[in-house]
Chain A
Amino acid sequence: AQKITQTQPGMFVQEKEAVTLDCTYDTSDPSYGLFWYKQPSSGEMIFLIYQGSYDQQNATEGRYSLNFQKARKSANLVISASQLGDSAMYFCAMRESNDYKLSFGAGTTVTVRA
């Protein structure tokens, strides 16, 4: 069964505007972590932001924020004030405490237009 679902294959956003990338997950483990990674065309995976299942507050890191809705099993990434350098593929991922493997979604390609 798919543990991480990203339903948006690709998105376009105007420079300086905000964009929201959707991510839903499936787990019965009460202790888990949710991650977002950025993959530019060069291929490296860049860690962006982390949300723990017991965290009360939504995570924020600079222009990145995570909209965590635990009851809906949703962990959407919001990128504010988009820049041309934000054009990349974005992956949502989850780790469960029972085995610590990282499960990835299929990714969303973001293209920022000038």
Chain B
Amino acid sequence: DGGITQSPKYLFRKEGQNVTLSCEQNLNHDAMYWYRQDPGQGLRLIYYSQIVNDFQKGDIAEGYSVSREKKESFPLTVTSAQKNPTAFYLCASDPGGSLDEQYFGPGTRLTVT
């Protein structure tokens, strides 16, 4: 089955540590996205990539970094510079260059204490 996988579902880290969230898709989509969701709120765009080896900052990129070395993979690193990293993180993808809907992964809930 085609889809987007994110692992792990729940992640716990100590403050000051960097943590990398994985996102893999087998939909052959060119574009991939990372969103952050805080409790009771909508999704905010962190980073997106329209093509391999290229990515752009979204609305809340500070304290985050990404890479896009392969079409299938778009990992997100939450660095120690991110002041409030505890949140629900969703990865998405779409074919790119169109108004098609985005397909979402199941999400990773990150808790930093």
Contacts and interface: CB of A to CB of B under 8 A. Distances in A.
Nearest to A107: B42
Interface residues of B, number: 27
A110 to B, nearest CB: 14
A32 interface: yes
Interface string B83-113: 0000010101000111111111111010000
Interface residues of A, number: 23
A105 to B, nearest CB: 6
Pick the most buried of B58, B96, B102: most chain A CB atoms within 10 A of its CB: B102
A57 interface: no
Given A35-B101, A43-B106, A50-B101, A104 B43 contact: yes
B42 A106 contact: yes
Nearest to A34: B99
A11 interface: no
B104 A44 contact: yes
Interface of A: 4, 31-33, 35, 37, 42-45, 47, 50, 52, 91, 95, 97, 100-102, 104-107
Interface of B: 31, 33, 40-45, 48, 50, 58, 88, 90, 92, 96-107, 109
